[in-house]
Every structure is written in C-alpha cells, then in structure tokens.
Structure 1
C-alpha cells in the first residue's frame, strides 16, 4: 500500500512538471508581437528582400558598364614545316616554338546612349523593388490582422458553445427529473438530450476552427508546427463604433502612399527607358581599343628575355560600328517597347482601380458592420432576456422543451451575429486606417 502511494505521488509530481513545461513553452502573442516577428521571419518578405538585393546588384553592374575592361592573354605554340613566324612574320620551314603574352583593354565611348539609359532603367528598377518589398510587407500585415481577428472570433465562439453545453446539460437534468415525475413525455426528454449532443458537436467544430486559424497564423509567422501559441485578447472597454472618415480623402491618401501605386508608376518609366534603349540601336557605336604585348620565337637568335624587350609592342585604335540593316530587328524592338509602354500604363490604371476597390469595399463594409453591430448588440440583449425567461418558465413546467431549444438557438445565433459584426467592424476600421498610412493598433 505504501509503495502504491509513492507511485501515485511520483506520477502527480511528474504531471505537475509536465504542466509547468507546457505553460512555459506556450507564449502569449499580441498583434504587435505577431507583426514584428513576421516582418523579420516571413519567407515571402525575405524573398522580396532578396529581389531588392538583386536589383541593387544589377544597378551596380549597369554603372560599371561605363568602365573599360582589362584582360590578359598568353599562348604557347609549336609548328613544324612551312609556316609563318608569329613574331617576325617571316616565312620559315623549321620547327618553331613561340610564346605570346598581352594585356588588352576596350571601352565603349558611345553606344546611342544605351549605357546611360540602361543605368537609369536599373536605378528605376531598384526603386521599384523597394516599393514591391513594401507591398509584400503590407500584404503580410493585412493577412496577420485578418487571421488574428479570426482567431479571437473563433475563441469567443468556443466560449459561447461551452456555455450552451453547460446550460443544455442542466436542462437535460431537469427534463430527466420531470420525466421521472411524469410531467413531460419521453420525446421532450430526448429532445433535450439531442440539444445537448448538438452543443457538444458545436464545441468540437468551434475548437477545430480555432486550431485551423492558429495553424494559418503559425505559417505566417514561420513558427514550428509543434510550437504552442496563445493569442492576447482585446480590451472589453474599446468602442468599436467610432468610424468618422471621408471615403474620397482615404482614397486620395492611399494613391499617394500605397506602394503598389508607386511601383506601377515606376513601371511606366521603366518601359519608357526600354524604348530609349531600343532606339539607341539606330545610332553608331564608338569604341576605344588598346593592348600591350610581347613574345618569343625559337628561330630568333636572341634569348628569351631579350626578345621580350625587343618584341614589346603597343596598340591603340578607335572602332566605329555603323548600323545599316539588321533585318528590322531594331524596328521590331522599338515597336515592342512602345506596346509595352501602353501595357504599363494600363497596368497602372488597373492598380489604381484595385486600390479604389479596396478602399471602397473596406469603407462600405465598415459602415455596414457598424450598423450591424448596433443592431446585433440590441438583438443579443433581447435574445438573452428571452432565453432567461424561457429557462424560468421551463423550470416551472410552463414551457415545452421544443420552445426552450428554439429560444436557446435564437440566443446563440444572436451571439454569433454580434461577434461577427464586432470583429468585422474592427477589421475594416483598421484597414481604412492602414490605407491612410497609419499603424494597425488594436
């Protein structure tokens, strides 16, 4: 008996330690915590940052194209029979061993302004990549906001479902007592049991929905799937019906600050630079070429070091390449660039329309959610009073089980409607603030 008591004590102690470990590993996340962590760890944002880094590399490479190149060459040759001496250019019939080394450099002096236009275009692409990275961050921020509120909504839904189950189980006990007393029929008792089972199912569904939203949030945060997280709830003192914003003012502000708008504007400028680059192919190219070198040949009487001194040579030249006809390749490139400019302009208009749609949708949904929240709050209060009155009548035997179930379901629906309106009002109000360049704060 004493041994059994010791075993039980050890098991309880281990369970306590396990509970402490679970509690310690579960972190409470606020919305600010989620946003800060995601901006540092989300792989989509990291990919956008790499795109910006690549744009920086491309811009640096384009700027370096103005510089001259420099490369060295070396060759060792053996020839036998009738041949030309590569150093003296004499006609010989002996075996020849020859060595050649040189340094070569070339520099483009003029290429139809294509180099300058390419540099300017790469600078535009770099600026555009900054806005594209910012757009990616904004999309992740909005996704986290939506998911965070969905988790809170689902969490409150679990509480409602658990309260309904508790009430249903009490009603089953009352129904059993009344059945035993012969004051209700068996069908009334089974209906109370059915309602309790339905509420149990509702809890399972609510918990599953909550876990699905938790999984989605952990993916946005790039957390380990096995890591437990807990979401910080909102203050109950917040007034969610405070929207007093002008729709057109929000839209005009959004046009000036939303990164996708700036990125689309730069996209037009990039296409215009493509046209300038294509037109540059009509103009001639002027290049400067220079080299220094020396060599050795075995048929010369001088030794290796003397020949490198004697055969030392320098060369400098200008090269002019004048395009005459390239099978209409330049013409086609110019036409394609002009088409791409028009497409970029259309893309800019579509982006502006999309931003207006976002603002318009958020604004209308915010107005609707505000009105729904006021109505849902009143409906919830009325349904709660009705349900409490129904419970008293049921206890006194003045109400059937069916009517009680209907009253409970009506109250549950009113609670769900209130929760939905509440979190939609929060979401769309925050979105409108975000579209004006303000931080998201719950």
Structure 2
C-alpha cells in the first residue's frame, strides 16, 4: 500500500483513542454525540421502520405456501316459489334455512411465483438493513463534521481572546506613551481602533461557535430546553498522520460500504422480479376443499338430524391457464427487464459517486496538510516578527501602523493554521471511515 506520511502539529486525540473519551461529567464528546445521534435521529428511525416492514412482508410471503381457511354461515328467509338452499328442491312455501361451512384452498403450482417472491422479500430485508446502516453512517459523518467545526470555532475563540489581551496591553502602553508625549493622537486612535476591532472579532467567534453548537444539537434531535455542553480535548501534541492510498481506500470501501451492497442486492431483486413476472405466463394449479351442512324447515327432521344428514365434504383441483390478460404479463416482463438495467446503472453510479467522495477526501486532506505546514511556518515567523515589533514600538523604533500590520499578520496566520488543521483532520477521518475504521478520535 502506498502511503504518504504527513508531519504536523495535530490534535492528540487523532493519535490515541482515549483523549476524546476524557469527558467531563455532563459534557458531550464526539463518541457520545455519534452514539446519541444514531439512536435518536429521525432518518435512522424511519429506516428501521422500513426494515421492520420488509420483515413483515417476508413473513407474509412465506405464509403464502400455507392453505387459506375460511368459515361461513348464513340464515335466510324466502317466500314464494323458489329453490330450497339446502335440499335444492323446487318448492312453493316460506323457507327458513341455516347453513354453515368451512372452505380451504392451497396453491400447488404457479410458476414458482411464491418461491421467488419469498426469495425477493428476503433480499429486501437484507437491503433494508443496509439502508439502516447507510443512515447511521450519514448521521455519523454529519455529526463528526459539525463537531470538528465546533472544535475549530472553539480554538478560534482562544486565538481571539489571546489577541484581545495583547491589544489591551498594547492600548495601555500606547496611552502611557501618548501621556508622555512620545506618540501622536492618531497613533493612539489607531491602537484603540484595533482594540475595538479585536473585541468585535471575539464576539463574532463566540457567535459562530454558539451557532455551530446549535447545529450539532439539532443533528442530535435534542429538545430545545435540554442543556448541552460540548467536551473537547484539552491538549495538543506533535504527531504523524498517515494518509492512505486512495485506490486502496476505494477497494476497501467497495467491499464494505452499505450503499454498494444494497446496489448489488437491487440487481438481484430486479432479476427475481423478472422471474415473478414470467410466472404470469404459467398456469396456476390450486387444490380446494370444503365442509358444509345446513337446516331447512321444508324437511321434517330435527335441527340436529338435518345437520348430521346434510353434512358433506368437497375436494377438488382447479387449473387456470392464462390465454390473454390484456398484455399485463408481457408488460410486467418488459418493465422487469428495464428495472434490471436500471439497477445495474444505479450500481455503476454508486461506485462512481463513492470514488468521487474518496478522491475528494484525499485531495482535501493532502491540500489541507500542505496549507497547514505553510501556515504553521507563517505563524511561527509572524509571531517572532510581532514580538519584535512590540519591543521596537515600545522604544519608538517602529510606528503604530507597522505594529498593527504585524499583529494582524500574526492573527491571520493563526486562523489559517487552525482552519487547515481541522480540514485535514476531517478528511483524514473520512478516509479512515471509508477504509472501514470507526470514527473514534
């Protein structure tokens, strides 16, 4: 397997499974968020209900092999000349009659329609289980992306707070310099303007974080009044990320991704549907049987005697041969063949879509890593430049504009690094997911 080794400052939790597990009481780490979302997401619940429906359909199709049994009973009053419903004699009098019966029917042959329907419904149960798995995967990826974005915003707040502290200290020093007559009013105004801008940046960062937390809360289907506080890892350390070869990931994904498995099953389902449709050309042979008895007032026997005397049993075979059924069988066969082709095209499309996702994740992870390395170098250099500018400003060696430019350059480098870092983490996790590894940071 070809692998590209990436060296960077990265969240320590990517290197050990325990870091995200250290959750304060009442806090939500990534693992807990995913677990809760999978258990409570509406789409996942709906897919589970669909699977239960498929299981019920399978049970019903298996029961088609069993004979049907029904009971009947009737009570009638007939006046005038008519046929006695029990004796079948033609009489001219008022008739009171009672009849009861049991009827059974079982299909002996119908072109293997019942067997193929059972097989098809069995495949649909398996297919719906893949739909459930795919729904769980989708919500897990959404929660992971939202959680990492919240983590990025949380780190952005820390950067903004540190920058604000630096600006406040700078404003204090500038005020002292102005009072001593060392700088002009404009220089002091520029520093205070920067201080106000940094306060606004901090507010914006906090608002972005709060909005992201709300998004994550909605993904978890939490009630509006339910308290929700995210838990994040507290430390970072230097580590190594290994981005797997995209073709190896794709090969692994083809074997394990539920959307590919369900696509393959859909072709099998459509093939069985064709066999079921062809059964419409075949004759149907059924066995029927029945028990019946009755009472009529036209006979002189008692009710119990008539029920005993009129008791009869019936057993028969029924053969139904289709000759012309308004092209229904032919149309069903043609549509089934089209469904097979459609299922094959859908499977090809699913494979292509999967590769596109893996290709995109690989490109994004690689690009983000390069950006992160460049941003890290820029951040280190700009920090040195900013520290030096502060010292020079204190002794009047640089003006206010140069100081503020240096400060903003350092801030932007930090923000770029944070964004690139969490982009790399996200797409690295996606590649791990497509390889079949659980999302566990």
The two structures share one fold, judged by TM-score above 0.5: yes
Aligned to 2:392: 393
Aligned to 2:7: none
Aligned length: 418
Separation in 1, partners of 2:48, 2:131: 9
Aligned to 2:15: none
Instruction: Structure 2: state its 5+ residue gaps.
Output: 1-23
Separation in 2, partners of 1:239, 1:54: 51
Within-5 A mapping of 1:354-393: 354-393=353-392
Aligned to 1:221: 220
Aligned to 1:7: none
Within-5 A mapping of 1:9-408: 27-234=26-233, 236-239=235-238, 241-408=240-407
Separation in 2, partners of 1:346, 1:26: 50
For the residue of structure 2 that corresponds to 1:128, the secondary structure is helix
- Where relative contact order (Cα < 8 A, 6+ residues apart) is larger, the structure is 2
Contact 2:131-2:259 within 8 A present in 1 as well? yes
Separation in 2, partners of 1:105, 1:238: 76
Stretch deviating more after TM superposition (53-62 or 221-230): 221-230
Separation in 2, partners of 1:240, 1:360: 24
| Alpha-carbon shift at residue 26 of structure 1 (Å) | 7.2
Aligned to 1:10: none
Stretch deviating more after TM superposition (127-136 or 388-397): 388-397
Separation in 1, partners of 2:25, 2:165: 27
| Alpha-carbon shift at residue 244 of structure 1 (Å) | 4.4
Structure 1 residues 112 and 238: alpha-carbon distance in aligned structure 2, compared to 1, 3 A threshold: farther
| Alpha-carbon shift at residue 418 of structure 1 (Å) | 0.8
Instruction: Structure 1: state its 5+ residue gaps.
Output: 1-24
Structure 1 residues 395 and 238: alpha-carbon distance in aligned structure 2, compared to 1, 3 A threshold: closer
Stretch deviating more after TM superposition (174-183 or 119-128): 174-183
Let me know the Cα RMSD of the aligned residues: 1.6
Query: CA offsets per residue over residues 267-325 of structure 1, 9 Å max, x none?
Result: 11111111111111011111111110111111111111111111111111111111001
Structure 1 residues 179 and 338: alpha-carbon distance in aligned structure 2, compared to 1, 3 A threshold: same
| Alpha-carbon shift at residue 41 of structure 1 (Å) | 2.3
| Alpha-carbon shift at residue 174 of structure 1 (Å) | 2.4
Contact 2:106-2:287 within 8 A present in 1 as well? yes
Contact 1:152-1:231 within 8 A present in 2 as well? no
For the residue of structure 1 that corresponds to 2:74, the secondary structure is strand
| Alpha-carbon shift at residue 72 of structure 1 (Å) | 0.4
Contact 1:26-1:229 within 8 A present in 2 as well? no
Contact 1:112-1:284 within 8 A present in 2 as well? yes
Separation in 2, partners of 1:276, 1:409: 71
For the residue of structure 2 that corresponds to 1:87, the secondary structure is coil
| Alpha-carbon shift at residue 94 of structure 1 (Å) | 0.9
Structure 1 residues 228 and 203: alpha-carbon distance in aligned structure 2, compared to 1, 3 A threshold: farther
Separation in 2, partners of 1:240, 1:131: 36
Query: CA offsets per residue over residues 159-181 of structure 1, 9 Å max, x none?
Result: 11111122222222222233333
Aligned to 2:3: none
Separation in 1, partners of 2:408, 2:440: 34
Within-5 A mapping of 1:421-440: 421-440=420-439
Aligned to 2:20: none
Give every structure 1 segment of 4 or more consecutive aligned residues whose post-TM-superposition deviation is greater than 6 Å.
none
| Alpha-carbon shift at residue 248 of structure 1 (Å) | 1.1
Contact 1:26-1:230 within 8 A present in 2 as well? no
Contact 2:383-2:410 within 8 A present in 1 as well? yes
